[in-house]
Amino acid sequence: MYKKKFYRALLVLFVLLINGCANLSSYTSGKPQNYEDLNQSNVDLLGDMPVPNGATILNDSSMMIGKGSGWIGKVYLAGLQTPNETYSFYLADFPKAGWTTLSATKSKTSILVFTKDQRTCTIELSDGSYFGPKTNISITSVPKAAPASTPAVTQKPE
């Protein structure tokens, strides 16, 4: 009786293992299923924002309005380099492309903030999954906020 239960449990475990291995096939190259290689047309979409070699856009998660140097929105990428390598890449290459570094915080989730002309760009980097990309990258591009004005002080009538 215990032998039957043992063999059934072993069979279920085997089926689950085979099913899990079949699902890993999309990660054999370190890229998730819903990616798009950064060919020239995708690089043109991001305009003057450098992208690490081998990074891929996650189309299902990203939202862009416009393209080139004027796009706004949030783009998610899967990076092949480690978070430390990706952090160093952005810290070195964004200024080379004319961006000014406003803030750079390196931690488990690193955040870099750059500005150029009338745009602000925030880059977030975090560890990727064990079988997927090494780094999860999100790039948010927004128009630079207008300077805040001081509200007029109204006097109470006496």
pLDDT: is 106 or 5 the higher one?
Answer: 106
| Residue 11: per-residue pLDDT | 54
Q: Phi/psi at 96 (nearest 5 deg)?
A: -65, -25
CA 36 to chain centre: 13
Q: What percent of the chain has pLDDT over 70?
A: 64
Q: What are 79-119's pLDDT values in tens digits?
A: 999 999 999 999 999 999 999 999 999 999 999 999 999 99
Contact indicator for 144, 115 with CB cutoff of 8 Å: yes
The domain locations on the chain are: 30-143
Query: Burial letters for 21-48: b for 16+ Cβ neighbours within 10 Å, e otherwise?
Result: eeeeeeeeebbbeebeebeeebeebbbe
Q: How far is CA 88 from CA 5, 82, 95, 139, 141, in A?
A: 54, 10, 12, 15, 20
Given a cut of 70, is residue 143 above it in pLDDT? yes
pTM of the model: 0.68
